[in-house]
Structure 1
Amino acid sequence: MIYQKYIKRILDITLSGAAIIVLAPVMGVTTILVKKKLGRPVIFKQKRPGLNGKIFDMYKFRTMTEKKDSSGDLLSDEIRLTDFGKKLRNTSLDELPELYCILKGDMSIVGPRPQLVRDMVFMNDEQLKRHSVRPGLTGWAQVNGRNAISWERKLEYDLEYIKNVTFRQDLKIIFMTVIKAFIKKEGITEKNVGTATDYGDYLLKTGMVSQKKYNQLQRKARVILVSEN
């Protein structure tokens, strides 16, 4: 409890600040490459639910194009995700700007990954407990399969983590993250899928939520996002 309440935040500030300094050359080169291959903006900003469900701006290096259809709507993520973008995601380099979110206090080095608002609205009361801690750059679910595991298992891992927030556990997760992301170079996406399936889409596809409920909760997510802009 002492670690979670006092020490963890101090470590977040110290480690994220040090990482920003050490990785500045890497982020600089990545910025140049993203600008050259994908253009501006280099940084992708998105609203995500954080501690206690509070919405914050999460930053990533951009990995997709802005290609649109004849109606002016963005094409699917799978089409807009470039080979260069896939490499950024597979090496987790696209996540580096999140270090600034950690420094600000919106995120932590270790914690449940910040999901989309349209994912959050489909979670039940038990699953929403994952927001009782700051979301993390990496987490227990990420070192146990990332997006290759089912949504149910992913959320179960998140709940397992919040019940055991200790320095030893965080250190273990950081070590496993380095091994998986930078040594084994494991991807973050589902097999044969460019980007992860939204929780609501998964529930609809598996028949766990009706079309009516799906539409209702998607509207709720849009209202939340509009209220934050």
Structure 2
Amino acid sequence: MSNKTIQKCVKRVMDFVVALIILLLFMPLWLLITLLIKIDSKGSVFFIQARPGYHQKIFNVYKFRTMRIGSEKMIKGREVLKDDDRITGIGKFLRRSKLDEIPQLINVLKGEMSIVGPRPERIASLEDYTEEISKRLNMRPGLTGLAQVSGNIYISLSKRYEYDIYYVEHFSILLDLRILIRTVGVIFFGEDKYAGKEL
């Protein structure tokens, strides 16, 4: 068994344990967020959408809903920035703090996602994938990733793909830990502060 294979096994165990602990430990907070979403706007608490995952296997990704009902139909080709008027009041806080991604820990427990990995894109994006870009699907998608801590929407899509491919080809537990540490910085200081800054 190769060193990388061993690290991937360790990664999966760590994913499961960390996801379970966070979900259980902060359950009161998740219930509070659920209540605030219901009070703030009409609609479901969760946003559920089919996304391509590991080796293009389609799965349903879960998020706390942060946008007004029907807004997701207008997203294609348009980035959702922090001052977007489609975002609800509580949604702005959830997006800024990344708490809207927390339900994806369920995806992690199910083995559909990882804590760290390329972010899952919409199925329609596959139409534009080249053989090179498809490499980003050779690992489970993550809640956070190298592209997300290197500028994310403040850098070009092609550059985000470059970061994703680099991550897949150079994966290690150490790289995951470095990404997680910078994710904390992104939460406190914003994605724009890390645009163009190599990890």
Please state which band the TM-score falls in when normalised by the shorter chain.
Answer: 0.7 to 0.9
Partner amino acid for 1:8? Answer: K
Aligned residue pairs total 181
Question: CA deviation digits over 1:33-72, x for unaligned, max 9?
Answer: 011112331011000000000000000000112258xxxx
* 2:119 matches 1:113: yes
* Preserved CA contact (<8 Å) 1:3 1:166: no
* 2:14 matches 1:11: yes
Residue of structure 2 equivalent to 1:139 = 145
Partner Cα separation in structure 2 for residue 140 and residue 122 of structure 1: 21
* 2:192 matches 1:170: no
Residue of structure 1 equivalent to 2:80 = none
Partner amino acid for 1:86? Answer: K
Cα separation, partners in 2 of 1:111 and 1:75, compared to 1, 3 Å: closer
Q: TM-score, normalised by structure 1?
A: 0.74
* 2:48 matches 1:21: no
Cα separation, partners in 2 of 1:75 and 1:120, compared to 1, 3 Å: closer
Other structure's SS at 2:128 match? coil
Deviation at 1:80?
3.0
Structure 1: 5+ residue stretches without partners: 69-73, 189-229
Cα separation, partners in 2 of 1:79 and 1:179, compared to 1, 3 Å: closer
Work out the percentage of aligned pairs sharing the same amino acid: 39
Deviation at 1:119?
1.4
Picking from 133, 147, 160, the partner of 1:127 is: 133
Partner Cα separation in structure 2 for residue 105 and residue 36 of structure 1: 32
Deviation at 1:146?
1.3
Deviation at 1:75?
6.8
Other structure's SS at 1:159 match? helix
Q: Of the two, which has the highest radius of gyration?
A: 1
- Tell me the C-alpha RMSD between the 2 structures: 1.8
Cα separation, partners in 2 of 1:108 and 1:100, compared to 1, 3 Å: same
Picking from 87, 97, 108, the partner of 1:102 is: 108
Structure 2: 5+ residue stretches without partners: 76-83, 193-199
Residue of structure 1 equivalent to 2:74 = 76
Partner Cα separation in structure 2 for residue 120 and residue 67 of structure 1: 23
Runs of 4+ with deviation above 2 angstroms: 2-5, 74-84
Partner Cα separation in structure 1 for residue 148 and residue 157 of structure 2: 12
* 2:54 matches 1:51: yes
